[in-house]
Structure 1
Amino acid sequence: MQLSTILSPERTVCNMPGVSKKRFLTSISEHIAESSSSLSADAIYNALLAREQLGSTGIGNGIAIPHCRVQECTQIIGTLVQLDEGIDFDAIDSQQVDLLFVLIVPAEETDEHLRVLSGLARLFHQETFCQALRDASSSDELYQTAIRFSEQSQS
């Protein structure tokens, strides 16, 4: 999986205020909707919230991969976020979350959805990848770091 196919500099946010899980989901839904003319913030938020109610997407070690299918979505959209401080995300290890990759997928893309989630989980289980993301001091540096690691893991 090449992150560059689903992630853009506009959807990479460094030092985003954390506050709470619900506030994060609201803010990130608005951010994603701003960069996509076919998606509304309400549709994204409602789908992300419904998915979180099924079980937390906090995978441990300060990482969460909130994901959902949205009917109006026409292509897979990724958004990478580094929070300025960790938030409670009901993660499986009860740790605060400070790195998130939000994935919005077209409703009919079941197989691709699972393939991308699997690729993201592999990336985020690399300690050096996560530390490099945490060390980034700008959105551009965060984006470049993610893309570089993604390309390296493909070779």
Structure 2
Amino acid sequence: MSILSLLSSDRVFNNLEGGSKKRTLEIISEHLAQSHSDLAEEAVFSGLINRERLGSTGIGDGVAIPHCRLPGLQEAVGVFVRLATPVDFDAIDNRPVDLMFFLLVPEDACDQHLATLGALAEAFSKEENRNKMRSAASDSELMQILESTFN
């Protein structure tokens, strides 16, 4: 599955004011519930926060990939966020996070989930990609950068 197929322009946020790890997870959970009738805000937040309790999804270099599998979800959904101010995310390198790709997948999509996480981690491992994402001036410019990164 292509990373771009997980995103849409209404799920790309540039300069989001998150404030904290928990608050950012709440904001994205709320947005997803409002834009997808088959998602409940509490279920999304619970899935994401429970995954974080197993270990931070902060992969280093200011990047996190919060993710979870959700029962009842029909197809994978992604949200990309560049925070206005980096937040502590308990990342493996102890650096604050400002780039986040949220990934929700159906409960039984194990292989798809792992393959997508691997592709995301590979793209974010490149400093050039991270720098381009951080240079975006608007949601639409950020979407264009993501399209060129994941194409």
Question: So what's the TM-score if we normalise by structure 2?
Answer: 0.97
Deviation sequence 1:55-114 (CA, Å, 0-9, x none): 000000000000001112110101000000000000000000000000000000000000
Deviation sequence 1:31-54 (CA, Å, 0-9, x none): 111221100111000000000000
Gaps of 5+ in 1: none
Task: Report the AA paired with residue 75 of structure 1.
Answer: E
Aligned residue in 2 for 1:141: 141
Aligned residue in 2 for 1:29: 29
Aligned residue in 2 for 1:40: 40
RMSD of Structure 2 on Structure 1 (CA): 0.8
**Contact 2:51–2:67 under 8 Å retained in 1:** yes
Aligned residue in 1 for 2:49: 49
Number of residue equivalences: 151
Aligned residue in 2 for 1:104: 104
Task: Calculate percent identity across the aligned residue pairs.
Answer: 44
Aligned residue in 1 for 2:87: 87
User: What secondary structure is seen at the aligned counterpart in 2 of 1:48?
Assistant: helix
Task: Report the AA paired with residue 19 of structure 1.
Answer: G
User: What secondary structure is seen at the aligned counterpart in 2 of 1:104?
Assistant: strand
What is the distance in 2 between the residues matched to 1:50 and 1:73? 17
1:65 corresponds to 2:55: no
Task: Report the AA paired with residue 145 of structure 1.
Answer: I
Aligned residue in 2 for 1:78: 78
What is the distance in 1 between the residues matched to 2:56 and 2:93? 11
Aligned residue in 2 for 1:12: 12
Task: Report the AA paired with residue 25 of structure 2.
Answer: L
**Deviation beyond 6 Å, 4+ runs, structure 1:** none
What is the distance in 1 between the residues matched to 2:101 and 2:149? 15
User: What secondary structure is seen at the aligned counterpart in 2 of 1:78?
Assistant: strand
**Contact 2:3–2:116 under 8 Å retained in 1:** no
**Contact 2:56–2:92 under 8 Å retained in 1:** yes
Question: So what's the TM-score if we normalise by structure 1?
Answer: 0.95
Task: Report the AA paired with residue 78 of structure 2.
Answer: G
What is the distance in 1 between the residues matched to 2:4 and 2:75? 13
